[in-house]
Structure 1
Amino acid sequence: MAASTWNLDKSHSGITFSVRHMMITNVRGSFNDFDAVVSADASDLTGLEASLTIDVNSIDTKDEGRDGHLKSPDFFNAEQFPQIAFKKTALVAKGGEDYALTGDLTIAGVTKSVTLNTEISGPAKDPWGNTKFGVVADGSISRSEFGLSWNAALETGGFLVGDAIKIHIELEFAQA
């Protein structure tokens, strides 16, 4: 079979993250506006071509003040760098639905190669005859490697914001 286009089903997709706060708990957030472009052969998804873009201004941590600070030059600098981008460079099968997905991640103008533990499910037909597949990807990045290094020292030692950002992505695609 030839590669075909797959459309992102945004109502069944999400991008979330968490980061350590004050060294005692995690703050969670999401990005509400994102898109993905995928081209793949349904009979062999390992050859898929994929890219993901995220609107930085859609960040939502359930605190408008914090969201505003994250959009500022202290962190994402959304005015100058309005998008986060990921472009797949490799997909290695690890057995069953498990893969290692590697790609170039660009945040605030800095691009680094990252590898995410990934599950790819499907393709399968939904009750309306549409062919779909799902991707779940998890990983961790160092925010300071992307220039997001703002922080504040705590009186008891340590820092206000952790460096490791845990990423969780769930995307569902329908064959065009």
Structure 2
Amino acid sequence: MSSTLAGRYGLHAVVRTKDGWAVPHAVVTVTDMSGHQVVRMDADAEGTVLTEPLSPGVYTVVVTAVGYAPIASTAIATASGSAELGVLVLARQGGVELPPPGVWTIDPAHSKVAATAQHLGLSSVQGRFSEFAGRIDIGTTAEASAVVAEIDATSIDTGNKTRDDHLRSADFLDVGPHPVISFRSTGLSPAGPDRWTLHGVLTLSGITREVDLDLAYLGTSPDPWGGLRAAFRAVTELRREDFAMNYNQIVQAGISLIGATLKVELDIQAVQGEPSAQA
């Protein structure tokens, strides 16, 4: 849009869930006071909507998205044609319902498993695992649900071969004798609307420890292949020393090459059914 690139824009808004996640598939419709539709567009990958300048006046803005209750808001375009609505929050339809009970299979092609470590106390380095699998058994209640997953430790990728080879060594992941990282849930307890603490045991570098993950359920949606998908996000923090990853290097008094903790982030899409049932 040439006018927006030139610094002029119309309606600006960001569509989010109440957990703060973007809703990139949201559709925003803008109508004038006579009911005439003047704009209809999708939010971008960050949930942002930015239109061409509008004629000065009052507008009705309706936001819809699959799996969410629609909302309406009033926007007033100034003489410059801009209208700022800020963050528009969508609530999931049906409140905090879980996905339908049964087996759900993690889809690695549309999921992310990543770990981030501090580097020199200044910046961070993120590594992603490209090979993993798992299943989620949704019960009739959240507490009756369970998760099992396995990660190929050799698939770590930080974008630097030398660093990746070191991470696979006995100083860190020790992939020779321990090529698989495994997780098995042991329980689930509520932590707020759409949020839970997922309790489980993690086996990493041959060492098993209890871990808790902060889990958010992001909703369900049909996919283009006739399936049904559920989305989740989970985060936790691990101490390297708990898994005997004690390697470090002091580069300056009080400053370590690598931080003592790892931030683990999981963005998961799961498809309803066993793997053989997927398209």
Per the TM superposition, whether the score is higher than 0.5 is yes
Relative contact order higher in (CA < 8 Å, ≥ 6 apart)? 1
Residue aligned with 2:252, SS: coil
Q: Which has the larger radius of gyration?
A: 2
Q: String of CA shifts for 1:12-64, please: whole Å, max 9, x gaps.
A: 101011101111111111111011122223x5344222111111100000000
Q: Is the 8 A contact 2:142 2:188 kept in 1?
A: no
Which of 197, 216, 224 is the equivalent residue of 1:119? 216
Which residue identity lines up with residue 215 of structure 2 in the other structure? T
Amino acid of the residue matched to residue 178 of structure 2? Answer: F
Instruction: Note if 1:109 corresponds to 2:196.
Output: no
Q: Which moved more, 1:130-139 or 1:24-33?
A: 130-139
| Number of aligned positions between the proteins | 174
Match of 2:196 in 1: 99
Asked if residue 55 in structure 1 is aligned to residue 152 in structure 2, the reply is yes
Aligned to 2:166: 69
Q: State the AA in 2 paired with 1:122.
A: G
Residue 116 of structure 1 and its aligned partner are, at CA, apart by 1.1
Which range moves more in the overlay, 153-162 or 98-107? 153-162
1:17 equivalent in structure 2:
115
Deviation per CA, 1:124-147: give whole Å up to 9, x if none: 434554222111001111011100
Map 1:1-176 to 2 at 5 A: 3-41=101-139, 44-126=141-223, 129-176=226-273
Using structure 2 for the length normalisation, give the TM-score. Answer: 0.59
Q: Tell me the CA shift for residue 3 of structure 1.
A: 5.0
Give the residue type in structure 2 aligned to 1:84: I
Contact residue 214 and residue 234 of structure 2 kept, 8 A:
yes
**Structure 1 residue 123: Cα displacement:** 3.9
Which region of structure 1 is more displaced relative to structure 2, 158-167 or 44-53?
Answer: 44-53
Unmatched 5+ stretches in structure 1: none
Q: Which has the higher strand share?
A: 1
- Relative to 1, partners in 2 of residues 1:3 and 1:160: Cα closer, same or farther, differing over 3 Å? same
TM-score, with length taken from structure 1: 0.91
**Aligned equivalents of 1:24 and 1:127: distance in 2?**
43
Amino acid at match of 2:262: I
Identity %: 29
Secondary structure in 2 aligned to 1:68? helix
| Contiguous gaps of at least 5 residues in structure 2 | 1-99, 274-279
Q: Which residue type is aligned with residue 157 of structure 1? A: G
Counterpart amino acid of residue 168 in structure 2 = K
